[in-house]
Structure 1
Amino acid sequence: MQSTLDVITYGEAMAMFVAAETGQLADVFQFTKRIAGADLNVAIGLSRLGFKVGWMSRVGRDSFGQYVRDTLAKEGVDAACVTTDERYPTGFQLKSKNDDGSDPAVEYFRKGSAASHLSVEDYVPAYALSARHLHLTGVAPAISGTSRELAFHLAKEMRAAGKTISFDPNLRPTLWPSREAMVAALNSLAAHADWVLPGIGEGEILTGYTKPDDIARFYLDQGARGVIIKLGAKGAYFRTADAAGSVAAQPVEKVVDTVGAGDGFAVGVVSALLEGRPVGEAVARGNRIGALAIQVIGDSEGLPTRSELDALEHPQITNMTPVTAVTQTENKVSQTLH
Structure 2
Amino acid sequence: MSEFLTIGEPLALFASTDTDQSLVDATHFQKFAAGAELNVSIGVSRLGHQTQYITRLGQDPLGDFIKKQLQSAGVGISYIDQTSAYWTGFQMKERVSQGDPQTHYFRSGSAAAHIDSSQITKIDLNDVKFFHYTGIFPAISQQALLATQSLISRVQAKRGVKLTFDPNLRPSLWPSKEIMIETINQLAFQADVVLPGIHEAEQLTGLSDLNQMADFYFDHSQRTELVIIKLGAKGAFVKERNGNVLHVNGYKVNQIVDTVGAGDGFTTGFITGCLDGLSLEEAVRRGNAIGALAIQSAGDNDGYPTIDELRQYQKSSA
- Per the TM alignment, residue 279 of structure 1 is displaced from its structure 2 partner at its CA by 1.5
Q: Which residue of structure 2 aligns with residue 253 of structure 1?
A: 254
**Is residue 148 from structure 1 mapped to residue 145 from structure 2 by the alignment?**
yes
- Structure 2: distance between partners of 1:114 and 1:266: 26
- Structure 1: distance between partners of 2:268 and 2:209: 25
- Structure 2: distance between partners of 1:59 and 1:126: 17
TM-score by length of 1: 0.89
Let me know the Cα RMSD of the aligned residues. 1.4
- Per the TM alignment, residue 120 of structure 1 is displaced from its structure 2 partner at its CA by 2.4
What code does the residue aligned with 1:154 have?
L
Q: Which residue of structure 2 aligns with residue 335 of structure 1?
A: none
- Structure 2: distance between partners of 1:200 and 1:218: 14
- Structure 2: distance between partners of 1:226 and 1:247: 15
Change beyond 3 A, Cα 1:143–1:156: same
- Structure 2: distance between partners of 1:25 and 1:282: 38
- Structure 2: distance between partners of 1:164 and 1:15: 29
- Per the TM alignment, residue 128 of structure 1 is displaced from its structure 2 partner at its CA by 3.9
Change beyond 3 A, Cα 1:126–1:69: closer
Unaligned 5+ runs, structure 1: 316-338
1:208 pairs with 197, 202, 206, which one?
Answer: 206
What code does the residue aligned with 1:133 have?
F
- Alignment coverage as a number of residue pairs: 312
Q: Which residue of structure 2 aligns with residue 301 of structure 1?
A: 302
- SS of the equivalent of 1:201 reads helix
- Per the TM alignment, residue 313 of structure 1 is displaced from its structure 2 partner at its CA by 4.0
Q: Which residue of structure 1 aligns with residue 197 of structure 2?
A: 199
**Is residue 105 from structure 1 mapped to residue 102 from structure 2 by the alignment?**
yes
Q: Which residue of structure 1 aligns with residue 289 of structure 2?
A: 288
**Is residue 114 from structure 1 mapped to residue 111 from structure 2 by the alignment?**
yes
Q: Which residue of structure 2 aligns with residue 80 of structure 1?
A: 78
- Structure 1: distance between partners of 2:116 and 2:61: 23
Indicate conservation of the 8 Å contact 1:129/1:158, yes or no: no
Query: Cα deviation per residue 1:227-285 (whole Å; 9 max; x = unaligned)?
Result: 00011122110000231010111100011100001000100111112223222111111
- Structure 2: distance between partners of 1:103 and 1:38: 16
What code does the residue aligned with 1:143 have?
I
Q: For 1:37-116, what aligned pairs fall within 5 Å after superposition?
A: 37-100=35-98, 102-116=99-113
- Structure 1: distance between partners of 2:310 and 2:234: 22
What code does the residue aligned with 2:44 have?
L
Indicate conservation of the 8 Å contact 1:196/1:228, yes or no: yes
Indicate conservation of the 8 Å contact 1:138/1:168, yes or no: yes
- Structure 2: distance between partners of 1:133 and 1:236: 21
**Is residue 233 from structure 1 mapped to residue 230 from structure 2 by the alignment?**
no
- Per the TM alignment, residue 156 of structure 1 is displaced from its structure 2 partner at its CA by 1.5
- Structure 1: distance between partners of 2:276 and 2:178: 37
What code does the residue aligned with 2:54 have?
M
- Structure 2: distance between partners of 1:124 and 1:305: 33
- Structure 2: distance between partners of 1:308 and 1:212: 32
- Structure 2: distance between partners of 1:84 and 1:146: 16
Unaligned 5+ runs, structure 2: none
- Structure 2: distance between partners of 1:54 and 1:66: 17
TM-score by length of 2: 0.95
**Is residue 131 from structure 1 mapped to residue 128 from structure 2 by the alignment?**
yes
- Per the TM alignment, residue 134 of structure 1 is displaced from its structure 2 partner at its CA by 0.3
- Structure 2: distance between partners of 1:90 and 1:129: 30
Query: Cα deviation per residue 1:190-249 (whole Å; 9 max; x = unaligned)?
Result: 111110000010001111111111111111221311000011122110000231010111
- SS of the equivalent of 2:237 reads strand
- Structure 2: distance between partners of 1:151 and 1:179: 20
- Structure 2: distance between partners of 1:231 and 1:312: 20
What code does the residue aligned with 1:81 have?
Y
What code does the residue aligned with 1:82 have?
I
Q: Which residue of structure 1 aligns with residue 173 of structure 2?
A: 175
Change beyond 3 A, Cα 1:142–1:174: same
Indicate conservation of the 8 Å contact 1:233/1:249, yes or no: yes
Indicate conservation of the 8 Å contact 2:125/2:158, yes or no: no
Query: Cα deviation per residue 1:72-130 (whole Å; 9 max; x = unaligned)?
Result: 11000000110011100001110000012x11100001111101112422203442454
- Structure 1: distance between partners of 2:93 and 2:126: 36
Q: Which residue of structure 2 aligns with residue 323 of structure 1?
A: none
- Structure 2: distance between partners of 1:47 and 1:129: 18
- SS of the equivalent of 1:5 reads coil
- Structure 1: distance between partners of 2:126 and 2:188: 19
Between 1:127-136 and 1:54-63, the stretch displaced more is 127-136
